[in-house]
Amino acid sequence: MKRVLAFFAVGMLLLGGCGAKGEGVQAEGYWMRSGLKDGNSAAYMTLTNFTDADVALIGASSDAAAAAEVHLSSMGADGVMKMEKQDSVAIPAGEALELKPGGYHIMLIGLTRELIVGDEVTLTLHFDGFDDLTLTVPVQDAADMGGSGMDGHNMP
């Protein structure tokens, strides 16, 4: 009987771990760039929508910056990189959105403190009609993460 209970307990633990994935919007691979106080930084990650409905990322906030916004970097017709604030970015049901250098990212504007490699920053993502997602994001070296350093996060 003890053996049956032990197998049951292990099975429940394994199933419990599986149940945590596949609910709401989840983030993985998140990191952010270092930055000077009063300067800017950018956060990157992959967001996966595990719901049956489209989800809209509508903003972000952090105690490490005066403002946090969703931005898109792209190449303009003139060959110059540009960056634009996005009011909303859709994440279709069952799909993922990659926030990466040179594309969508979370722009942290007016850093309230210097961010150095090894620090951690609290970042909250806001969704239309869904719960916020709060992350503890590590500050990492962009070169180690495949960032080009040219994603325009300091462009005027």
Q: What fold characterizes domain 24-145?
A: Immunoglobulin-like (2.60.40)
Residue 132 is given by DSSP the state: E
Q: Residue ranges of the domains in the chain? A: 24-145
* C-alpha distances out from residue 71 to 44, 52, 136, Å: 11, 25, 20
pLDDT in tens, the chain (156 residues): 555 444 444 444 333 333 335 579 999 999 999 999 999 999 999 999 999 999 999 999 999 999 999 999 988 889 898 999 999 999 999 999 999 999 999 999 999 999 999 999 999 999 998 999 999 999 998 776 554 443 443 333
What phi-psi label fits residue 129: left (phi over 0), alpha (psi between -120 and 50 degrees) or beta? Answer: left
pTM higher than 0.85, yes or no? no
SS3 content of the chain, % helix, strand, coil (to 5): 15, 50, 35
Q: What is the residue-wise DSSP string for 2-24?
A: HHHHHHHHHHHHHHHHHHHTTSS
